Structure 1
């Protein structure tokens, strides 16, 4: 059985969705260990044994222990679902790897906004300048995807891959900070993602999100 250390709708959602795409039965079952972000629980839970940074996601499978969502997605795809990977020698491999790591560029900006807008509580206040610059950078990463999706359904010309799975967390969280109406291709891409049965099974496991307390977080006033 594979064990996934997980925070609801965090980066570990990528791994949860990938496991559903591969098939839970391929791993002999799935145990999801949910952690509470923003509390001491993660530091005191023993997660550090699996994840040196004491962050999610992390997996345990037989003798394998791994953390970092991009590394886990790349390894599981190449090992259990080569059709979702682009293996060495495949001409699309460089682009596949680029999109997997592009997802982390985007996710780091979302993480920064989460810290500024969700985790900071009164009397702390988010910095309007930092939030504005971070939203602008996030919008630019979305614009890059919008351009790349011209004339295709998925990030790679040959079709759906684990690179698209890496965007599962990003496209869930980005609309809380960026109005998505300016990105029609991305909205259509997000709809295609949400129509996948494996994605729907992952969302069903997650249940209603409990992190964001509003539908949209505008840049705070100075």
Structure 2
């Protein structure tokens, strides 16, 4: 399979890099900066109309939603066991966890906008930051109840759903204290020890999102 990935470091396109490593597939990685708007070119927008990462070309197929890309790759390579076939008892949970990961990621994105990307920090609403932080915490509490010790999201083992969720947890720790969720924290640690995760991080590039290790809820909110 010939794969080309338009990639922004530490963005959702990292999920694609990680998935490719799990599958043992190489890719032509085109690096972009979140700060320069280089994704908003006609070439990239012909693949990803909103000009956002990922933008992926795979043997003539173009895709731009990370969850859909991971599902597609899992279906194209069933031998890897990273997807769940239609009719399998764990298929509903597999789909649910992939989409739950995007619910969680949307909250992280909102916190990124408030804490990191507003040109004038004074424009950020402390009330909105508090609300989105609490909502992110609620998703982590939910995940805590869904995890068993020493497990992945599916009883059958590691899957593309773990890549979807795992990406979030490395970003969520900028806004929440992850050790407050011991099963989630241990789960993230298991993911971080996978060789494929390390290989993908080596190709990820330097993140330009975060200037500090933790962003607390503003005082008085």
Band of TM-score, shorter chain: over 0.9
Name the stretch that deviates more: 130-139 or 150-159.
Answer: 150-159
Q: How many residues align?
A: 218
The question of 1:58 aligning with 2:55 is answered yes
Contact 1:3/1:33 (CA < 8 Å) preserved in 2? yes
8 Å Cα contact 2:83-2:160 kept in structure 1 = yes
What residue is the counterpart of 1:217 in the other structure? Answer: 215
Judge conservation of contact 1:22–1:81 (CA < 8 Å) in 2.
no
What displacement does 1:123 show?
A: 5.9
Select 2:143's aligned residue among 141, 145, 149.
145
Any gaps of 5 or more consecutive residues in structure 1? none
Would the aligned equivalents of 2:3 and 2:27 in 1 still touch at CA under 8 Å? Answer: yes
- SS, match of residue 173 in structure 2: helix
Q: Residue 155 of structure 2 is aligned with which of 154, 157, 168? A: 157
Q: Provide the residue aligned with 2:134 in structure 1.
A: 136
Deviations 1:71-111 (A, max 9, x none): 00110011114511011011100000000000000000000
Match of 1:7 in 2: 8
CA contact (8 A) 1:13 1:168 kept: no
Tell me if 1:33 matches 2:34.
no
TM-score by length of 1: 0.93
Q: Deviations over 1:16-74 (max 9, x none)?
A: 100000012xxxx3111122224332212521100122111121022111110110011
- With 92-101 and 152-161 compared, the bigger mean Cα shift is at 152-161
- CA displacement at 1:151 relative to structure 2: 4.0
Supply the distance in 2 between the matched residues of 1:150 and 1:119 (Cα, whole angstroms): 36
Residue 153 (structure 1) shift: 0.9
Q: 1:115 aligns with which of 93, 113, 118?
A: 113
Where 2:40 maps in the other structure, the secondary structure is: helix
Question: 2:40 aligned to 23, 43, 67, which one?
Answer: 43
In the aligned structure 2, how far is the partner of 1:37 from the partner of 1:44?
13
CA distance in 2, matches of 1:157, 1:61: 30
Aligned to 2:178: 180
What does residue 16 of structure 1 align with? 17
- C-alpha displacement of 1:157: 1.2
Taking the aligned partners of 1:122 and 1:179, their CA distance within structure 2 comes to 26
Deviates more, 1:115-124 or 1:4-13: 115-124
After superposition, the CA RMSD in angstroms is 1.5
SS in 2 for 1:166: helix
Secondary structure, aligned partner of 1:59? strand
* Structure-2 change in CA distance of 1:73 and 1:155 (3 Å): same
With normalisation by structure 2, the TM-score equals: 0.94
Q: Secondary structure at the match of 1:154?
A: coil
